[in-house]
Amino acid sequence: MKTINGAQIRAARALVRWSAEDLASAAVVGISTVRRAEAEDTTPSITAANLNAIQAVLERAGIEFLPESNDKGVGVRLTKTPGPNAGSGNG
């Protein structure tokens, strides 16, 4: 998996219209883990397993994490429209 940062997690969550609680539930991590991950603009200081779980669930929801390249910074892109259950963490 690519290394992602807290800013990307925040942006990804906004794109799929999930609350922090939705993300925590979908990734099966604690809400404090999500908040810690999102608080950092660098690679979050959470376990690799928790970071991988957060990244995987966001990717399944349609997020593509974009790496830094040349003169462009990292980013996120929505590859599909969030479904009707987008806010539930199951969409």
Distance CA 66, CA 56 (A): 14
Domain ranges of the chain: 6-88
Q: For residue 91, what pLDDT band results from cuts at 50, 70 and 90?
A: very low
The predicted model gives 73-89 an average pLDDT of 73
Q: Three-class SS string for 63-76?
A: EEEECCECCECCEE
Q: Is the pLDDT of residue 34 over 80?
A: yes
In sequence order, what are the residues at sequence separation of 6 or more whose Cβ sits closer than 8 angstroms to the Cβ of residue 41? 5, 6, 7
Q: Which pTM was predicted?
A: 0.85
CATH class of 6-88: mainly alpha
